[in-house]
Structure 1
């Protein structure tokens, strides 16, 4: 039972991080093309929901939101807090 739950948790983390990464890419492209953007709150929410690694990698891969403190400090901080919480559960 424990292994099954861990499997689903791992799949969830993989998917939410992929979404965080893709949203950074999509928002960067929309910014370049002066199109409707993904809100900063949505990008941060994805990090809070477990996508902080994907969002962080996307930030630096696409050089997007790297001048905004709420992202350069916030996303790594979210990752640290989430890592701590996961370690408490495991």
Structure 2
């Protein structure tokens, strides 16, 4: 079942790209004092294997980096994503 790895990896990359762009969009909206994306949405996206995209976006756009919940929570979710992903890949292979 190793042949199922590339599509899963592509999905992982696309999901994290979407998470990264979501942080960029929220930063833009924050600067323009417009409607914002809820913090819960960031965490749901991060918990669903998008934590690396959110974390990268946080640092690239310097967004949400002063919020303790984000500076601790998103890296923890990133670590959990890696651990769960590792065990899922072992299960598939």
TM-score, with length taken from structure 2:
0.89
**How many residue pairs get matched?**
89
The residue that corresponds to 1:87 in the other structure is 86
What per-residue deviation string (whole Å, max 9, x for no partner) do you get for residues 30-52 of structure 1?
00000001111111111111111
SS of aligned partner of 2:42: helix
Root-mean-square deviation (Å):
1.0
The residue that corresponds to 2:59 in the other structure is 60
Q: Following the alignment from structure 2 to structure 1, what is the Cα–Cα distance between the partners of residues 85 and 61?
A: 28
The residue that corresponds to 2:4 in the other structure is 5
Q: Following the alignment from structure 2 to structure 1, what is the Cα–Cα distance between the partners of residues 85 and 76?
A: 14
Point out where structure 2 has 5 or more consecutive residues left out of the alignment: none
What per-residue deviation string (whole Å, max 9, x for no partner) do you get for residues 63-89 of structure 1?
000011111111110111111112223
Per-residue deviation, 1:7 = 1.6
TM-score, with length taken from structure 1:
0.92
Point out where structure 1 has 5 or more consecutive residues left out of the alignment: none
Moved over 6 A (4+): none
1:75 aligns with 2:74: yes
The residue that corresponds to 1:46 in the other structure is 45
